[in-house]
Amino acid sequence: MTDAIKYRESMMEVTGYNFKKMAAMVKKEMPFDKAEFLKMAETVHYMSTLTADGFPKGSDELAGPTHAKAEIWSKPEEFKKDIADFQKASEALVVAAKTGDMSAIGPKFKETAGSCKQCHDSFRSKSE
């Protein structure tokens, strides 16, 4: 099961990398590049579709060091709902990114980031 932990950590790392770059564009800390932003939004959305795969039964803290809370497995319907919210929000971000219009992108980016935060607040511990 340590492979599942490595899988989800890698997936989250890819998602976080893309989020940081998109955030920098949204905050105007770096120039907006429509094609690059769209590519990152599509990557985040794709990662959202893989999220559940990274949390099979048996990949909890007994399998090795992890930030995953036991609630992932004890409250699976809530966890699935948060994943579905992330998928829906990230899909809407892709649609907005295709327009290249930052007034459409900004709110969808914030919504997608909020879906990540919601899940992390509920299902991710701060310490190992």
Please report, in range form, the residues annotated as the binding site for heme c. 116, 119-120
Q: Which residues are annotated as part of the binding site?
A: 116, 119-120
Gap between the Cα atoms of 51 and 111, Å rounded? 18
Q: Is 73 left (phi over 0), alpha (psi -120 to 50) or beta?
A: alpha
Q: Which residues contact 46 (CB under 8 A, 6 or more apart)?
A: none
